[in-house]
Amino acid sequence: MSDKPSGKEENEEVDLGQLFNAIGRLFEKLFAFTKQLLVGAFEIVIYALKPLVNNFKIVATALMLAAVIGYIVEKSSKPVYFSDMLVKPYFDSKYQLANNVDYFNALIGSKNTQELSRIFEIDSLDAKELISFEIEIGPETPNDLLVEYDTYLKKIDSSLAGDVTYESYIGNRDILSGSIFSVSAKSYKSDIFTSLEKGFEKTFKNRYSERLKVFRDKSINMRQKTYQEELVRIDSLQKMYIDVLKTDSREGNLSFSGESMVPLVKEKSVTREYDLFKEELRIRDSLRVLDEELILESQYYDILSGFEEVGRVKKDIFIRYSIVFPTIIFIIMVSVFLFIKAFKFIKEYE
């Protein structure tokens, strides 16, 4: 027998060799392209920084001057105070809350201090100190999100529920998807925040939320009435079974065991009495749940955590002008030098 490979095997070896060579050339081109990108980016950075290095004294002077000006502006500016309030709206009043926050910001932007003073019941001078309001979703735990996701799946069609994953649901939530909201207020005055709660109390009530509350109350009252009627019916049946047991006892239909002396009642009667007892417990538990719902959601909102008596100083990087001003100047210089380089290159290019 001959050990020489057949023509078919030789062709396969040649094809594999060509494939590996093609893959190797592809990786070489990819590495070369990546190298060119890195070198190009490095050259752009060098071209941008070279004029700054060549004019180091001018650049350093400009940055120092910008830092000094920013420091002066920062120290001469009024401190900004802020405070947060956690609220839980009911009856879809969260939409009115978000709309009114935008309305308050519009009043501040237009300097309508009279309307702000009327809404929040504060002095017009205090109203001038307001800066802005913000609304965000309040603190949420992973368990809260899971409960919210489960509730959402129960509301939509079962054919669509399988297509909505937990990750997609969380990714598509907006600011009004939550049940607890954080309302933040900013002001130049530190002790104005508790006075603002009166104005927010007016933001949770509108015609739509009023209709929802009336509908909810009527629905609960109807269910309570039905449960009360069921309790009356169960009570009458229980009395009837007790009368039957008394009659059987008088007629001698009850027997006793020799040791425990416990009456052995007919199994059918005992089972019916126990079923009635369980049904009574279930109905009373349902009534308790309805009473708790009326008590817990008797208002249009709950304030979980109110505004603080004295606000905290806002420490934001964007109001640190001693840092912001030099950064802006540096970016402008780099942009100008890059523009000049690009302009010269385009002009001289042939």
Condensed to tens digits (0 to 9), the pLDDT of residues 213-229 reads: 888 778 888 888 888 88
Q: Are 314 and 131 in contact (CB under 8 A)?
A: no
Q: How far is CA 319 from CA 65, 150, 188, in A?
A: 17, 43, 14
Res 80 pLDDT > 60? yes
Mean pLDDT of 127-137: 89
Confidence of residue 158 (pLDDT cuts 50, 70, 90): low
DSSP annotation string for 100-132: HHHHHHHHHHTT-HHHHHHHHT--HHHHTTEEE
Q: Counting every residue, how long is the chain?
A: 350
Is 11 a residue whose pLDDT tops 70? no
CA separation for the pair 193, 83 (Å, rounded) = 7
8 A C-beta contact, residue 87 and residue 303:
yes
- C-alpha neighbours within 13 Å on the C-beta side of residue 80: 16
Query: What's the angle, vertex CA 299, arms to CA 297 and CA 305, rounded to 5?
Result: 90
**pLDDT recorded at residue 262:** 44
Q: Residue 312 corresponds to which tokens in the numbers above?
A: 């905290």
* pLDDT score, position 105: 92
With 0-12 CB in 10 A as exposed, 13-18 as middle and 19+ as buried, what is 131? middle
Q: How many angstroms from the chain centroid is the CA of residue 94?
A: 13
Which residue in the block uniquely carries the two structure tokens 């120092």? 64
Query: Tokens for 150?
Result: 């489960």
Query: What pLDDT score was predicted for residue 94?
Result: 83
Rounded Cα distance between 54 and 49, Å, is: 9
Instruction: Please give the sequence-ordered ranges of beta strands (E in DSSP) within the chain, or none if there are none.
Output: 81-89, 130-137, 181-187, 255-256, 263-264, 301-305, 312-313
Integer CA distances (angstroms), 225 to 270, 297, 349, in order: 29, 20, 89
Mean pLDDT of the region 166-189: 82
Model confidence band, residue 106 (pLDDT cutoffs 50, 70, 90)? very high
- What single DSSP character describes residue 191? T
Closest to 295 in 3D by CA, of 220, 219, 205:
220
Q: Using the Cα atoms of residue 47, residue 48, residue 51 and residue 55 in order, give the sign of their dihedral.
A: negative
Q: Say whether pLDDT at 145 is over 50.
A: yes
Q: What mean pLDDT, rounded, does the chain reach? A: 77
